[in-house]
Amino acid sequence: MSSTSSDPRTILGIVTTVRHRAIGVTTITLVVVLAGCATPSMAPDRSLATPLSAEKEALAVAKKSDLSDDSIERLVAADQPGCSAAVAVGGELVWASARGLADLANGVPLTTTTRFDLASISKQFTATAILMLQRDRLLSLADPVSQYVDGLPRWADQVTLDQLLHHTARIPDFWVELERAGVEFADVADQAATLDAIERESTREAGDGYFYSNSHYVLLAEVVARVSGQTLPEFLDERIFTPLNLDMVVAPGLQGPDIAISYEADFSLRPGGWTAYGHTGVITTPTDLVRWGDQYRTGDLVQNDFAIGPVDDGDGARYAAGITINDDGTLSHSGRWGGYISHFRVSADRDTVMAVACNGRGANRFGLADALWRLWAASPTQQTPAS
């Protein structure tokens, strides 16, 4: 043993760098500090040493990161529309990667800074806004929607905000009326046009209980506007995105060099002209989405009221405020809008958050999500039907 290593006051710093093989990934450096060898006459200064459990944890994270890299390379093609994914544990990003192309025509690769429309994962932000306004005593979930939105059919006097939030209002999805009127997905239909379509739905779906409909959350977006005096995009930016330093914006149909282009399963373009929001339209990265997901663990914006009054969705889970509570206690939601597909999960102990976003209808989002979840969380969760 050299004189340096035999000095009990010497700490050997071993830096293990986990290099993500996918393009655009920030390297994550894990520092493992080991105490030097002790001489018989002097014990090492244990105050300077990292506990062995921390060393094991760092090695475990490194192994999971390598396996996660392997999973995305195995499940996502490099020359097709692809996916970006991220995992956070205890509020800290532990892995992020991306694979595939953001722009097929120009060969632009996806990176972890590429943004996507989260599709129906956006609903939890609208739901949070409604609950924040209830905490501010500016509305009640027991209020009828007619109290806040004018021009709706007679059913609006019986439909409460709670029913909209939990998808029990049974209002037909607005896309049915838009298509009936000859408005295709690539045609222009903004928030006002979408509300007009909802107003033409004179009857609700027969029956009782859960009936998933995007119309419910378009109406909730209007409630936010009428109560707060701000559009939903303005409200979320001021009350959620900016305070949490999240790179998020509500802007369905937004295009830009850092936004993935939307593709069908056959790789044809899938542009969207429908720009209503509330049900969809949050533009961001999986990395920022998992940062937001830590609100379910420690946040003061997502409080326990999100889980009040969830309803049976018919598949063994309960739909809460814009998110599903699965029978194992995990949370999840999926999204599908044009060629954008996504998936979001939070562990039962709320410690682990995972997000996957893809820009092609044929991408293997659930396969990738399941592979990552098996690595980073204790047990798999049920899959929420795509919206």
Q: Is residue 16 predicted with pLDDT exceeding 90?
A: no
The first and second tokens of residue 159, run together, are: 């439909």
CB contact at 8 A, 8 and 42: yes
Chain segment 168-216, per-residue pLDDT in tens: 999 999 999 999 999 999 999 999 999 999 999 999 999 999 999 999 9
Mean predicted lDDT score pLDDT of the chain: 88
What pLDDT score was predicted for residue 236?
A: 98
**Percent of the chain whose pLDDT exceeds 70:** 84
Distances in whole angstroms, Cα of residue 38 to Cα of each of 14, 15, 295: 18, 22, 45
What is the pLDDT confidence band of residue 63, given thresholds at 50, 70 and 90?
A: very high
What pLDDT score was predicted for residue 387?
A: 54
Return the H-helix or E-strand segment holding 272.
none
Tell me which of 3.40.50.300, 1.10.645.10, 3.40.50.11810, 3.40.710.10 is the CATH number of domain 116-376.
3.40.710.10
Q: Is residue 48 predicted with pLDDT exceeding 80?
A: no
Q: Is residue 299 predicted with pLDDT exceeding 90?
A: no
Q: Among residues 129, 197, 141, which one has the least CA distance to residue 169? A: 141
**Percent of the chain whose pLDDT exceeds 90:** 81
What pLDDT score was predicted for residue 191?
A: 97
What pLDDT score was predicted for residue 55?
A: 87
Work out the angle between the directed axes of helices 123-135 and 214-228 (0-180°, nearest 10).
Answer: 40
